[in-house]
């Protein structure tokens, strides 16, 4: 049964943004901590009849996609359609690009994204900018990255100033 709670504009935009991220993705690459948080939540949402159908749609895509989790601690894949990788991020992603169809999504795993940016292996970053000043934290764009050129493929601004940006790599 569908939830009768009206959908706020904020949640509608978030769901639209999530759908855009997954439109062409067939594979998800995650770090262990990110995977535990994401898959713990979204696996439950996929089976929750009370969840909004758009949340279930995103959850179904994540749960149903091939997933590669980078971990030196996990020895067994805790989710369906998941394999554990503990080798080079660049080697594994290169193999995925060569052998798969569809896009490879790296969702919120900063250490993996940094490695792939350094190797110039990211073609389309989706950035959600929320100006909440925490006073510190990990930097996504480290000094020493190779020079690259990008063009804006999509942009939108939320009510409270959040900005969703999608860039395409210019090669």
Domain boundaries, the chain: 9-170
Closest CA to 32 of 79, 72, 61, 64: 72
Residue 7 has pLDDT above 80, yes or no: no
Closest CA to 84 of 95, 99, 96, 74: 74
Strands 163-170, 103-106: pairing is unpaired
Is the full-model pTM beyond 0.85?
A: no
pLDDT reported for residue 133: 63
Contact 79, 2 (CB under 8 A): no
- The mean predicted confidence, pLDDT, of the chain is 81
Q: What are the backbone dihedrals phi and psi of residue 158, each rounded to the nearest 5 degrees, phi first? A: -85, 170
Q: What is the rounded CA–CA span in Å between residue 122 and residue 33?
A: 21
Residue 58 has pLDDT above 60, yes or no: yes
Beta pairing partners, 27: 66, 104
Residue 3 has pLDDT above 60, yes or no: no
Residues 6+ apart with CB under 8 A from 118: 142, 144, 145, 146
- Which option is the CATH number for 9-170: 3.20.20.70, 3.40.430.10, 3.90.79.10, 3.40.50.720? 3.40.430.10
């Amino acid at each position: 049964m569908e939830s009768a709670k009206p959908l706020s504009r904020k949640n509608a935009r978030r769901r639209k943004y999530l759908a855009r991220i997954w439109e062409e993705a067939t594979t998800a690459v995650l770090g262990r901590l990110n995977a535990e948080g994401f898959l713990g939540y979204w696996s439950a949402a996929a089976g929750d009849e009370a969840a909004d159908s758009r949340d279930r749609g995103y959850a179904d895509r994540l749960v149903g996609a091939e997933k590669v989790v980078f971990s030196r601690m996990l020895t067994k894949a805790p989710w369906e359609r998941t394999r554990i990788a503990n080798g080079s991020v660049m080697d594994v992603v290169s193999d995925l690009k060569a052998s798969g169809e569809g896009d490879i999504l790296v969702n919120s795993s900063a250490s993996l994204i940094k490695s792939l940016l350094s190797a110039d292996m990211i073609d389309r970053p989706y950035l959600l900018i929320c100006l909440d000043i925490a006073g510190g934290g990990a930097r996504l764009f480290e000094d020493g990255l190779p020079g690259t050129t990008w063009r804006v493929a999509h942009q939108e601004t939320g009510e409270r100033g959040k900005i969703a940006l999608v860039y395409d790599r210019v090669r």
